[in-house]
């Protein structure tokens, strides 16, 4: 019997991921080394080109690469552009971007997870970098998006990816300490969207703070993070028989105060209210809203500097191993007072 030697199957062509693994850099850095060499350090670029030659990798030459070289666009992905929480974040990011020669593209998903996913797919190929503020998508989807475009996350901790966060735990603790000093013992937390990372962080901090301060907790919600959502939550707040509430955000707080006034309740005599974020409207309502303030403009600035650093293969202010955590502080206004006697 004659043995016929089977032909050896052709080797699988090397990919951008093979080159990235060989050099120890991200696939996006390899892509930039070929399409935008001026944005990768000479040393890193030389290592990438050498590894590509050894592996037999050939970068695809497509017309879109030339367009990407000159896009100078950074995306800012938002869950609701009408929410004033994002206004200062956008302005902070824009100031940094313009100073560095970039423009901002706003991407509004309208609190719709499927729309957010589609918008990512459509816009990421057009962008140099992306800032994702308060995404509702699963971590796995966000990791996949970040493989193609340098990405920084705001108020969302995605393990293995750079994030800029606010210190929700300390902010919540200050709010609860303030209410405890005023004599409140049964306090409600009016919760926001279940898909929000910040919601989970604030609820955990609320429960822990109530336990440590010997307070009785009550949870209301989840509630849409809007003024209308807050107004609709008032009946649930009253059912819990709490003397004070801490809300997921300022808009919910303002809605609760508006609805309370409509039925003759007195804020803060009948119910003390604390919000989160310190959006501009919190100081315009009557009574003025006590709130946990986030440095919103600084959030946008730091995210923009970090994503521009990633685009240019430089060390960002926040890294995958060390998220940037910004402080929060309690601003006391007129919506909180001593607990009513019952």
Which of these ranges, 26-35, 43-52, 61-70, 272-281, has the smallest mean pLDDT?
61-70
- Mean pLDDT of the residues in the chain: 87
- Please state which CATH number belongs to domain 168-294: 3.40.50.2300
Which H helix or E strand runs over 92?
A: helix 85-99
- In the three-class reduction of DSSP (H, G, I as helix; E, B as strand; rest coil), residue 55 is classed as helix
Q: Residue 168 has which token pair? A: 């929700």
Residue with the bigger pLDDT between 101 and 63: it is 101
Comparing C-alpha atoms, which of 9, 12, 31 is closest to residue 20?
A: 31
Contact between 200 and 232 under an 8 Å Cβ cutoff? The reply is: no
The pLDDT confidence band at residue 60, using thresholds 50, 70 and 90, is: low
Average pLDDT score over residue span 92-120: 89
Contact between 89 and 104 under an 8 Å Cβ cutoff? The reply is: no
Confidence check: pLDDT of 209 > 50: yes
With b meaning 16 or more CB within 10 Å and e meaning fewer, what string describes 34-63? bbbeebbeeebbebbbebbeeeebeeeeee
Contact between 260 and 270 under an 8 Å Cβ cutoff? The reply is: yes
Domain 16-65 falls in which CATH fold?
Answer: 434 Repressor (Amino-terminal Domain) (1.10.260)
- In the three-class reduction of DSSP (H, G, I as helix; E, B as strand; rest coil), residue 295 is classed as coil
pTM of the model as a whole: 0.76
Distance CA 234, CA 294 (A): 25
pLDDT at 342: 62
pLDDT at 62: 38
Confidence check: pLDDT of 178 > 90: yes
Confidence check: pLDDT of 64 > 50: no
Q: Residue 334 has which token pair? A: 């007129």
Comparing C-alpha atoms, which of 311, 41, 271, 43 is closest to residue 152?
A: 311
Domain 72-166+296-326 falls in which CATH fold?
Answer: Rossmann fold (3.40.50)
Class of residue 159 by CB neighbours under 10 A (exposed 0-12, middle 13-18, buried 19+): exposed
Instruction: State the DSSP code for 339.
Output: P
Q: For the chain, give every residue range classified as CATH 1.10.260.40.
A: 16-65
Helix axes 227-239, 250-262, angle to 10 degrees: 60
Q: For the chain, give every residue range classified as CATH 3.40.50.2300.
A: 72-166+296-326, 168-294
- Per-residue model confidence as pLDDT tens digits over 277-314: 999 999 999 999 999 999 999 999 999 999 999 888 77
CA-to-CA separations, 333 to 85, 145, 292, 293, in angstroms, rounded: 19, 41, 11, 12
- Per-residue model confidence as pLDDT tens digits over 114-130: 888 888 888 888 888 99
CA-to-CA separations, 259 to 56, 169, 263, 287, in angstroms, rounded: 67, 29, 7, 13
Contact between 329 and 293 under an 8 Å Cβ cutoff? The reply is: yes
């Amino acid at each position: 019997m004659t043995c016929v030697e089977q032909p050896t199957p052709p080797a699988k062509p090397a990919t951008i991921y093979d080159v990235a693994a060989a050099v120890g850099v991200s696939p996006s850095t390899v892509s930039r080394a070929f399409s935008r060499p001026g944005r990768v350090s000479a040393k890193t670029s030389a290592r990438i080109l050498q590894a590509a030659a050894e592996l037999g990798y050939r970068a695809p030459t497509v017309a879109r690469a030339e367009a990407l070289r000159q896009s100078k666009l950074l995306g800012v992905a938002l869950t609701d552009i009408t929410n004033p929480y994002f206004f200062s974040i956008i302005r902070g990011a824009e100031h940094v971007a313009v100073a560095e020669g970039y423009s901002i593209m706003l991407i509004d998903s309208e609190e719709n997870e499927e729309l957010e996913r589609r918008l990512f797919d459509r816009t990421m190929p057009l962008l140099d970098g992306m800032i994702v503020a308060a995404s509702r998508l699963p971590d796995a989807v966000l990791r996949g998006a970040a493989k193609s475009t340098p990405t920084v996350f705001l108020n969302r901790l995605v393990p293995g990816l750079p994030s800029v966060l606010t210190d929700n735990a300390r902010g919540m603790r200050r709010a609860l300490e303030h209410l405890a000093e005023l004599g409140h013992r049964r306090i409600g937390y009016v919760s926001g969207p279940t898909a929000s990372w910040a919601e989970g962080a604030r609820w955990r901090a609320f429960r822990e703070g109530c336990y440590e301060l010997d307070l009785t907790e009550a949870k209301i919600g989840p509630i849409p993070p809007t003024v209308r959502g807050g107004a609709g939550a008032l009946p649930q707040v009253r059912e819990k028989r709490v003397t004070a509430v801490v809300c997921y955000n300022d808009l919910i707080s303002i809605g609760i105060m508006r609805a309370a006034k409509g039925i003759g309740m007195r804020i803060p005599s009948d119910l003390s209210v604390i919000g989160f974020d310190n959006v501009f409207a919190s100081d315009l309502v009557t009574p003025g809203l006590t709130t946990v303030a986030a440095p919103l403009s600084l959030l946008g600035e730091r995210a923009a500097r970090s994503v521009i650093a990633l685009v240019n293969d430089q060390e960002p202010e926040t890294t995958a191993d060390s998220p940037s955590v910004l402080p929060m502080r309690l601003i006391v206004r007129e919506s909180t007072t001593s607990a009513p006697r019952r």
